[in-house]
Amino acid sequence: MLLAIDVGNTNVTIGVFDGQDLAHNWRLASMRERTADELGIFVTRLLEQTRIDAASLSGIAIASVVPTLTRPMEEMCERYFARKALLVDAANAGMPIRYTPAGDVGADRIVNAVAAWEQYGRELQVPLIVVDFGTGTTFDVISRGREYLGGVICPGIGISADALFQRAARLPRVDIKKPASVIGQSTVDAIQAGLFFGYVEMVDGLVRRIRGELEQGDQAVVIATGGLAGVIADETTSIRHVAPDLTLHGLRLIWDSNQAGG
């Protein structure tokens, strides 16, 4: 069994794999001041609730984009599970990185690329575009030859909503969801229309431009992941698949490849 941990700026997502199957998964808030002991208590309790014996874990893989949580996570693995975690980066992911410098690519973006290729690219032999709706909205491009080519980073939809609320005195905070129409007939409706349909058009527009620069871009398959993927994807014309657990599966694949390689 493998414990997979994705440490993001907004959430920490935790999954337990039984072989290739994601048996359990949880989402916690990314409180950056948490200590190794706090993290250890959280994770051990989650395992206890699902009757998973910590001793049955064969390994732990971590993708982290929050430096202040990376070391506490590693300490937690050593102290509570007597395991040295595999901390995923450009050097051990097993995918060629065409980015300068390669170490600047977020671990989550690399992990998503690996998982997308295995799930969609390998069989079809086509380029891929992965759209991750997280704290930031990222677009990652993988060539048909299984190379990470780079991508686009945009403010996330939640950041945009918070910015409106914080910087405009008369605008309220709103839930991010599809409104009844583009023409809002209340302030809440108008904000929701701008956020929702604005991001739909941003996704389709950027995908169109990426396709234009990508070799065989017209054949590229677009995969969405992240917390808001299910909200936005159905309204776009470009997203073909929604894979909410893509990052966790990527961690499993990279763990497996590292074990096979010694």
Tokens of 87: 């901390």
CATH code of the domain covering residue 57: 3.30.420.40
**Residue 236 lies in domain:** 122-250
**Distance from CA of residue 109 to its chain's centroid?**
7
pLDDT of 169: 80
Tokens of 255: 């763990």
End-to-end CA, the chain: 18
In this structure, what is the dihedral angle of CA atoms 214, 155, 132, 125, given to the nearest 10 degrees? 0
- Whether the model pTM is above 0.85: yes
Q: Are residues 18 and 82 in the same domain?
A: yes
CA-closest candidate to residue 97, choices 149, 144, 141: 149
pLDDT range class, residue 262, cuts 50, 70, 90: low
pLDDT range class, residue 27, cuts 50, 70, 90: very high
In the annotation, is 37 catalytic? no
Q: Are residues 129 and 80 in the same domain?
A: no
Domain membership of residue 110 (yes or no) is: no
Given a cut of 90, whether residue 130 has pLDDT beyond it is yes
Q: Are residues 82 and 130 in the same domain?
A: no
Q: Are residues 143 and 243 in the same domain?
A: yes
Tokens of 117: 């290729």
- Catalytic annotation, pick one of 6, 108, 132, 140: 108
CA-closest candidate to residue 134, choices 229, 198, 69, 46: 229
Q: Are residues 164 and 238 in the same domain?
A: yes
Domain membership of residue 42 (yes or no) is: yes
Q: Are residues 243 and 199 in the same domain?
A: yes
Domain membership of residue 255 (yes or no) is: no
Q: Are residues 55 and 146 in the same domain?
A: no
pLDDT range class, residue 167, cuts 50, 70, 90: confident
Last residue of a domain, one of 40, 71, 87: 87
Given a cut of 90, whether residue 216 has pLDDT beyond it is yes
Given a cut of 60, whether residue 195 has pLDDT beyond it is yes
pLDDT (mean) for 28-55? 92
Q: Are residues 126 and 227 in the same domain?
A: yes
Domain membership of residue 107 (yes or no) is: no
Q: Are residues 80 and 128 in the same domain?
A: no
pLDDT (mean) for 39-52? 94
Give CA–CA dist 21/24, Å, rounded: 9
H/E segment holding residue 64: strand 59-64
Last residue of a domain, one of 60, 87, 114: 87
Last residue of a domain, one of 87, 105, 139: 87
pLDDT (mean) for 208-227? 96
Structural domains of the chain, count: 2
pLDDT (mean) for 139-144? 97
Domain membership of residue 105 (yes or no) is: no
Given a cut of 90, whether residue 179 has pLDDT beyond it is yes
Q: Are residues 214 and 147 in the same domain?
A: yes
Tokens of 49: 């609730």
Domain membership of residue 185 (yes or no) is: yes
pLDDT of 31: 84
Tokens of 215: 């070799």
H/E segment holding residue 203: helix 187-213
Give CA–CA dist 175/101, Å, rounded: 37
Domain membership of residue 173 (yes or no) is: yes
Given a cut of 90, whether residue 13 has pLDDT beyond it is yes
Q: Are residues 11 and 58 in the same domain?
A: yes
CA distances from 132 to 19, 62, 259 (A): 25, 18, 27
pLDDT of 152: 97
Domain membership of residue 102 (yes or no) is: no
pLDDT (mean) for 139-154? 97
